[in-house]
């Protein structure tokens, strides 16, 4: 599992976004074709959140990764009860699963950090 920092503005409470190897790609496309992990990351970025991104191996559509998926996603399953990503872990340990729920959370919980003027 690899870890990266978003380059967005600071957020008072740390959150962690778990994504697949496709990461934050294709999040800006319309919802039906946007990649779920990218859609979740874009929503956090748009709401001004800074977050830690953890990439887990495997993918639902990559059948060759299925045998190792259970092993590669142990932490995701421990946190959320499922192997699917994206999941968002809040500072209080709460877990939000799925891109739709993460988008809704980001929209209703904008970052407390001031946004720099452009």
pLDDT in tens, 37-54: 999 999 999 999 989 999
58 located within any domain: yes
SS3 percent helix, strand, coil of the chain, rounded to 5, is 30, 15, 55
Residue 29 pLDDT level (bands cut at 50, 70, 90): low
Of 3 and 15, more confident: 15
118 located within any domain: no
- For residue 39, which of 28, 55, 52, 48 has the smallest C-alpha distance? 28
Alpha-carbon gap, residue 55 to 10, rounded angstroms: 20
Of 8 and 33, more confident: 33
Q: pLDDT, tens digit, for every residue of 51-61? A: 999 998 876 65
33 located within any domain: yes
* Range of the structural domain that residue 30 is part of: 2-108
Q: What is the CATH number of the domain that holds 47?
A: 3.40.30.10
Report field, pTM of the whole predicted structure over 0.75:
yes
Whether the pLDDT of residue 102 is over 90: the answer is yes
Total number of domains in the chain: 1
113 located within any domain: no
């Amino acid at each position: 599992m690899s870890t990266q920092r978003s380059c967005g503005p600071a957020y008072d409470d740390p959150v962690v976004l778990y994504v697949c190897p496709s990461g934050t790609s294709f999040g800006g496309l319309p919802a039906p074709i946007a990649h779920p992990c990218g859609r979740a990351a874009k929503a956090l970025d748009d709401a001004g959140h800074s977050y830690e991104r953890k990439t887990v191996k495997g993918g639902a559509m990559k059948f060759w990764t299925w045998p190792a998926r259970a092993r590669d996603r142990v932490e995701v399953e421990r946190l959320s009860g499922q192997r699917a990503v994206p999941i968002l872990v809040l500072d209080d340990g709460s877990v939000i699963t799925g891109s739709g729920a993460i988008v809704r959370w980001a929209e209703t919980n904008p970052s407390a950090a001031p946004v720099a003027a452009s």
